A and B are shown apart, each in its own frame.
Chain A
Amino acid sequence: MALLQEADRKVLKEKFAELKNPVKMVVFTQEMECQYCKETRQLAEEVAELSDMITLEVYDFVKHQEIAEEYNVDKIPATIIMTGGDDPKDYGIRFYGIPSGYEFSSIIEDIMMVAGGETGLGAEMKAWAAALDKPVHLQVFVTPTCPYCPRAVLMGHQLAMESDMITADMVEAIEFPHLSNKYAVQGVPRTVINETIHMEGAAPEPMLLAKLKQAA
């Protein structure tokens, strides 16, 4: 059974007509598919079908271990949104867990952003990102029923696209309980920056920037 409804397909097709550059989705799953691996893959397939500008590569986390390592993917299901075509580029945009519920819109926004080639971040944030000389890793914990979460995820992914120093993961808190425990996540969105700095909620750019400066 299709996951995407016909009406949504139509909306997305129209949206994707604006795509100017090729986008690649990379999905890591497993032969013995994990919880939501099947749905994550199917969802990616249904999205990729909607535009010639979107290609999809699906890998097996176990069988294609080297590729997983190349992409620095350490858990599944994982989805990557990156520039496709002849000159592919991986920005460090990651979704761990199924991007369902409110997070489905994050995937779509990311596709549009990557194809557009512009993050839309403010001047101050861009200047900070451009001057970075150390890696920054953001993990944005979410649940699919959290309306405020995509905002936090998107900002993380904007940053990842802005700078090669930055990687940003969406982490679906319920699917990765060990991570939720490790980072004491009991409320979402919660952004963990470089393991040490935490931020609750979806904050505007200046607030996130202040936190980022603390971390790097």
Chain B
Amino acid sequence: MFRELQFPKHQSYLRDWSNLEDWTNLKKMNLNMDLGMGLSNLGGPKEYDVIIVGGGPGGASAAIYTARADLRTLVIDKGLTAGALGITAKISNYPGVPGPIAGADLVEIMRRQAESFGAEFLTDKVVGVDLSSHPKMVMAGTDTFHAKAIILATGSMGRTNTVKGEAELLGRGVSYCATCDGAFFRDKPVAVIGNNDEAIEEALFLTKFASRIHLLVPTPAFKARQVLTDEITHHPNVTIQMGVRLKEIVGEDQVEGVRIQPRGGEETVLPVNGAFVYLQGGQPITDYLMGQVETTEAGCLSVDAEMQTSVPGLYAIGDLLCSHIKQAVVAAADGVIAAVAVDKFIHGRNKIQTDWK
């Protein structure tokens, strides 16, 4: 299983903090509980041979091979249901696994296989990389790691476009991190836009501060775990609207409202002071590269036959690559190709442990 951080981003803090009355208490809790949080990482080494960003079929398969080749391997993934295979209800065409099997279960099997060979997994979101440093640096929410090589396997569930006003009002009421920014919205109404685990968890966190949370769900139904949907549906401070499109974030210097359109309905502006956006789409997820690697206009990375990008030691695989067939087995195969290339890159050899000899 994934190594649990003491303060996992998308998990237990909702439970731990559920009795908190106000910010003071929250901070007191931080004093008592969270001081050790960053510390768990201080002691241990943070250097890896290879870091794999994204633990879907692509990343997990790469990890199986790099770990078996004795490369110190860390996989950082933001959540089981955040990737394409993770949200697939049933899959029956993965060779060797007749199924039908839930996509999330198949991913779990692959991850456990990689773990059995020594790969480490961390549940966290990668927010940045520094490719100019040696070794390369990967910044996740809770810590920073170094690696000789990086494999990008974040898939293509990214948003296609931001809406009008979103970029302009970032940090002025637009936020992507409720735990970071929730305290600025004490006793104010906010909107949370999204349908997945992350959106619901962040909305639940905001109930500690905001006077009212409008959860605006773009689809007719949630795509999240039942425990979460149950909890949010019954929360007295949360108003849920299903099947609404976010059209614009409205405001001069700060967020004043969100323009939304219900399915088949009229556009309206919902007055809120904060807009927390957790939408997904079909775009390759490359935001954390912060423009350090060239992409095409469509946001696609280019790789060579060994899955290496234009940056030596940086590889990209799976759905992240626009040119590839979007199937789990293809992502897995990409991962293996990249793993062999990483081994060669690090050890200057062109072989990886194989079973059939």
Residues of A near any B CB (own CB < 8 A)? 3-5, 7-8, 11-12, 14-15, 36, 39, 43, 98, 100-102, 104-106, 108-109, 122, 124, 143-151, 173-174, 180, 184-190, 198, 200-207
Asked whether A186 and B173 contact (CB < 8 A) given A146-B180, A204-B128, the answer is: yes
Is A174 in contact with B183, judged by CB distance below 8 angstroms? yes
CA distance A102 to B173 in the complex (A): 22
The answer for the CA separation of A124 and B134 in the assembled complex, in Å, is 13
Question: In the complex the two chains form, is B128's CB within 8 Å of A102's CB?
Answer: no
Q: Hey, which chain A residues are within 8 Å of B34, CB to CB?
A: 100-102, 104, 144
Contacts of B127 in A (CB 8 A): 148, 201-202
Output the least CB separation between B255 and chain A (Å). Answer: 8
Write the nearest CB–CB distance from A114 to chain B, whole angstroms. Answer: 15
Whether B43 pairs with A11 at a CB distance below 8 angstroms is yes
Contacts of A12 in B (CB 8 A): 39, 42
Residue numbers of B with Cβ under 8 A of A are 7, 9, 23, 26-27, 30-32, 34-43, 127-130, 132-133, 137, 139, 141-142, 144, 170-175, 177, 179-184, 253-254, 274, 290, 292
Provide a sorted-by-A list of 14 A–B residue pairs whose CB atoms are within 8 angstroms.
Answer: A3-B32, A36-B27, A98-B31, A122-B132, A145-B26, A148-B141, A184-B172, A187-B177, A187-B184, A188-B180, A203-B128, A204-B128, A204-B129, A204-B292
Neighbouring A residues of B139 by C-beta, 8 Å: 148, 151, 202, 204
* Closest 7 pairs (CB-CB, A-B): A105-B38, A146-B180, A187-B171, A147-B141, A101-B30, A204-B130, A8-B36
Chain B residues within an 8 Å CB radius of A200: 170-171
Expressed in whole angstroms, the Cα–Cα distance for A130 and B269 within the complex equals 51
On whether the beta carbons of B39 and A143 are closer than 8 Å, the reply is no
Residues of A with C-beta under 8 A to B23: 174
* Chain A minimum-CB-distance residue to B36: A8
